[in-house]
């Protein structure tokens, strides 16, 4: 992977000066060219000028946030890989990022080794969208916080969720959430979603623990129901 990294032109968009310096120091010698931007507008200008191979961006930034920059970059190049970095504490931003067509997520604070691993995963993904849309595999190589975003995006791409159903709406509606559970179970039965245990073996029932959640499918559903009920009571739409 080191050889592939050395051929990459990377655009990293981050407004926090200290983080920018740390990332620039850590990444610059590992890639062919690293462009750093301090906000979405500068990032968009650098993207237009240099057409990088991959974009990594923060979301909550001044002048132009990462969401708007991603929208405009997607209008220019629908296929360029984009990795979005955000925090769970930024709930509104996070739910919007999940709804957008990004290739991967990073939860802040960003660890350089995690970033390099995520870049490797994105570059190693199947070459065509049709190939990557055939099956979703959730297993030990995935991190727990990415499971919901991965499943949500898969359901959207497969047409099982209406375009107006955002991830935020899904987690605030018990009815929508139950329908999503039903769809996931059906796709699992049909072989379109595959859950693995910690030994990378398929989980074929709803009681066996799946990786990386350390819960069964039933346990994961119960956890999300509780989260939904909490959000519904605390902050109605």
What pLDDT sits at residue 129? 44
CA proximity to 141, closest of 115, 108, 110, 117: 117
Question: What pLDDT, on a 0 to 100 scale, did the predictor assign at position 131?
Answer: 41
- Sequence-ordered list of residues with C-beta below 8 angstroms from that of 21, at least 6 positions apart, any chain: none
Q: What is the pLDDT of residue 132?
A: 47
Q: What is the pLDDT of residues 12-55, one digit of tens each?
A: 999 888 888 888 888 888 889 999 999 999 999 999 999 999 99
Per-residue pLDDT at 141: 76
| Domain residue ranges in the chain | 2-125, 138-234
Q: In sequence order, what are the beta bridge partners of 136?
A: 193
pLDDT in tens, 102-159: 888 787 778 788 888 888 888 776 543 444 456 788 888 777 777 887 888 788 878 8
Which pTM value belongs to this model? 0.63
Separation of alpha carbons 211 and 138, rounded Å: 7
Instruction: Give residue-wise pLDDT tens across range 196-231.
Output: 888 888 888 888 899 888 888 898 889 888 888 776
Q: Which residue has the higher pLDDT, 236 or 96?
A: 96
Where would I find the H helices in 102-173?
112-124, 129-133, 147-157, 167-170
pLDDT digits (tens, 9 = 90+) for 45-94: 999 999 999 999 998 888 999 889 999 998 898 889 999 887 654 555 66
CA 145 vs CA 87, 170, 173, 211, 226: distances in Å: 11, 16, 20, 12, 16
- Axis crossing angle, helix 91-99 with helix 147-157, rounded to the nearest 10: 40
pLDDT digits (tens, 9 = 90+) for 158-178: 888 887 888 878 888 899 999
CATH topology of domain 2-125: Rossmann fold (3.40.50)
């Amino acid at each position: 992977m080191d050889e592939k990294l050395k051929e990459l032109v990377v655009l990293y968009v981050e407004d926090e000066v200290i983080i920018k310096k740390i990332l620039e120091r850590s990444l610059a010698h590992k890639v062919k060219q690293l462009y750093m931007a301090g906000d979405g507008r500068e990032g968009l200008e650098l993207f237009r000028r240099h057409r990088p191979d991959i974009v990594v961006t923060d979301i909550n930034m001044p002048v132009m946030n990462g969401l708007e920059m991603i929208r405009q970059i997607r209008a220019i190049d629908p296929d360029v890989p984009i990795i979005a970095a955000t925090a769970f504490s930024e709930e509104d931003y996070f739910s919007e990022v999940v709804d957008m067509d990004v290739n991967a997520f990073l939860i802040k604070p960003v660890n350089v080794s995690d970033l390099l691993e995520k870049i490797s995963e994105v570059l190693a993904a199947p070459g065509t969208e049709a190939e990557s849309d055939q099956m979703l595999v959730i297993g030990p190589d995935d991190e727990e916080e990415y499971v919901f975003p991965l499943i949500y995006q898969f359901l959207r791409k497969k047409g099982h969720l209406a375009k107006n159903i955002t991830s935020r709406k899904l987690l605030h509606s018990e009815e929508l959430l139950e329908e999503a559970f039903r769809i996931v179970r059906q796709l699992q039965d049909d072989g379109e979603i595959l859950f693995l245990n910690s030994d990378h073996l398929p989980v074929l029932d709803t009681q066996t623990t799946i990786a990386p959640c350390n819960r069964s499918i039933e346990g994961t559903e119960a956890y999300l129901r509780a989260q939904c009920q909490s959000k519904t009571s605390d902050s109605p739409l």
